[in-house]
């Protein structure tokens, strides 16, 4: 009898925890779709963890700021970084020496660190040494990196299309992942929008 109660309890727990990320992905207002050369990557944004960062990302998405922006730093087994709307836009021409040094016209954001872990598929905000310097750049994790836990703001999780993220052109390991002729985010949109 006790085993049946335990099994029922575990089923309830699995439903609660298994459904948590699905609930985020089901919210079109907090679902970001990144179109890559090979297809769409669906990201469940996490305003519950980082409301200011998510609001800024959505604002930039809706302005079209992320369209055609390069993945300027991609390190095999670690992460793919993008979002430099100042120097990473392929329409304006790509300068590898500047890519990754810019942000957006918006103000830098105060850190919104959480207890969430940096695991495969997590989307985090890039920043300089100052913890309060995140702006527009973000990265997608290829693998867990516990050294980032509590040090960078987590803004989302890839819900679909991680196999497409794995196909992003890798950078030069000798140059800290700098990518020449990089892949890019072709278009980025919020699922709630009709564009």
- The pLDDT, as a whole number, for residue 23 is 44
DSSP letter for each residue of 51-95: HHHHHHHHHHHHHTTTTTEE--EEETTTEEEE--TTT-BSTT---
pTM here? 0.84
Please state, in angstroms and rounded to a whole number, the distance separating the CA atoms of residues 166 and 77: 9
- The pLDDT, as a whole number, for residue 96 is 63
- Paired tokens of 16: 């609660």
Q: Helix, strand, or coil here: 183? A: coil
Please state, in angstroms and rounded to a whole number, the distance separating the CA atoms of residues 151 and 85: 23
Please state, in angstroms and rounded to a whole number, the distance separating the CA atoms of residues 156 and 135: 15
CB neighbours of 150 closer than 8 A, spacing ≥ 6?
113, 114, 115
- The pLDDT, as a whole number, for residue 83 is 94
- The pLDDT, as a whole number, for residue 91 is 60
Burial of 138 (0-12, 13-18, 19+ CB in 10 A): buried
Low-confidence residues in the chain, pLDDT < 70: 1-26, 88, 90-101, 195
- The pLDDT, as a whole number, for residue 31 is 97
- The pLDDT, as a whole number, for residue 99 is 65
**Taking the chain, what is the end-to-end CA distance rounded to the nearest angstrom?**
55
CA 90, distance to chain mean position in Å, is 19
- The pLDDT, as a whole number, for residue 180 is 85
Q: Are the CB atoms for 157 and 128 separated by under 8 Å? A: no
**Domains (ranges, CATH) in the chain?**
2-190 (2.40.100.10)
- The pLDDT, as a whole number, for residue 194 is 77
Please state, in angstroms and rounded to a whole number, the distance separating the CA atoms of residues 181 and 130: 29
């Amino acid at each position: 009898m006790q085993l049946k109660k335990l099994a029922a309890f575990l089923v309830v727990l699995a439903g609660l925890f298994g459904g948590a990320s699905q609930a985020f992905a089901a919210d079109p207002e907090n679902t970001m779709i990144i179109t890559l050369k090979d297809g769409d990557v669906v990201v469940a944004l996490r305003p519950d963890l980082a409301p200011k960062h998510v609001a800024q990302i959505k604002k930039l998405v809706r302005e079209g700021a992320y369209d055609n922006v390069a993945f300027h730093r991609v390190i095999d087994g670690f992460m793919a970084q993008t979002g430099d709307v100042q120097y990473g836009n392929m329409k304006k021409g790509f300068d590898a020496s500047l890519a990754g040094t810019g942000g957006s016209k918006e103000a830098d954001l105060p850190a919104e660190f959480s207890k969430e872990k940096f695991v495969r598929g997590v989307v985090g905000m890039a920043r300089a040494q100052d913890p309060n310097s995140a702006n527009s750049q973000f990265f997608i994790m290829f693998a867990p990196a516990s050294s980032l836990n509590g040090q960078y703001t987590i803004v989302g999780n890839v819900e679909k299309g991680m196999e497409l993220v794995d196909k992003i052109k890798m950078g030069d390991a000798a140059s800290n992942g700098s990518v020449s002729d990089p892949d890019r985010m072709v278009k980025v949109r919020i699922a709630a929008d009709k564009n």
